[in-house]
Amino acid sequence: MKRLRTLKIATMMAAATFGIASSSPWHATISQSDRATTVGNPEAEVRLTSFVSYTCPHCATFTIQGEPALQLAYIGSGKLKMEVRPVIRNPIDLVATMLVQCGDTDKFVRNHTMFMTTQRSWLPIAQRATQVQVARWMVADKSAARRAIANDFGFYGLMESRGYTRPTIDRCLADQALADRLEANSQADFEQFGVRSTPSFAIDGERLDGVHGWPELETALKTRF
């Protein structure tokens, strides 16, 4: 019952956050590149880049506090587009990111929101993991290791609640080219932007020093509009 309640809450949060039920098409305008997923008007005058980790509690807080406001005040109007760039800090981050990007691009928003808003229910599993579990997460067969993580953290159930089948989930987890690209992108963002903590943000390609949450980001955005 507790798990079902968690999934129900996540679904409600997804509907309330990253752009459902809007009179503007920009909330549902999503594009994928090798470096990022972008939500919003491709011709928007301002580009906000969000560097996030799915195992970062502050990133989950930002999703809950900041993303609804961004949708209502900025993305929905077409004047701002938001790039989401995942920061891969550990194997759990990698698995979560691969699943968020699993399937058609239009699934990204709800997948992203679901993993962030359910983080409190699955992240503690890492702290109480047994040696046997950790060993499964580190086996040489990388696809098998990712499946073990997905199983132990309940990610299969989360994705199935979104309509995914287990074979589809496993195909996404087996995409080694994607895994390699995500890890390479994290290193590139570290070198290009100096991203050392999450969440971090950049506006039009310039990282914002000392901005790691919605209150500070909102202040920075107000100077641009």
**Series of mean pLDDT values for 10-residue runs along the chain (225 residues):** 43 45 71 95 96 98 96 93 97 98 96 98 95 96 98 98 98 98 96 95 96 97 91
Give me the number of domains the chain comprises.
Answer: 1
User: What CATH number did the domain enclosing 11 receive?
Assistant: 3.40.30.10
Asked if residue 146 lies in contact with residue 136, where contact means CB atoms within 8 angstroms, the answer is: no
Answer whether 0.85 is exceeded by the pTM: yes
The whole domain housing 155 covers 2-222
Instruction: Please give the single-letter amino acid code of residue 27.
Output: H
Look at residue 18 in the predicted model and tell me its pLDDT.
52
DSSP code at position 73: I
* Other Cβ atoms closer than 10 A to 102: 20
Q: Are strands 80-86 and 46-52 parallel, antiparallel or unpaired?
A: parallel
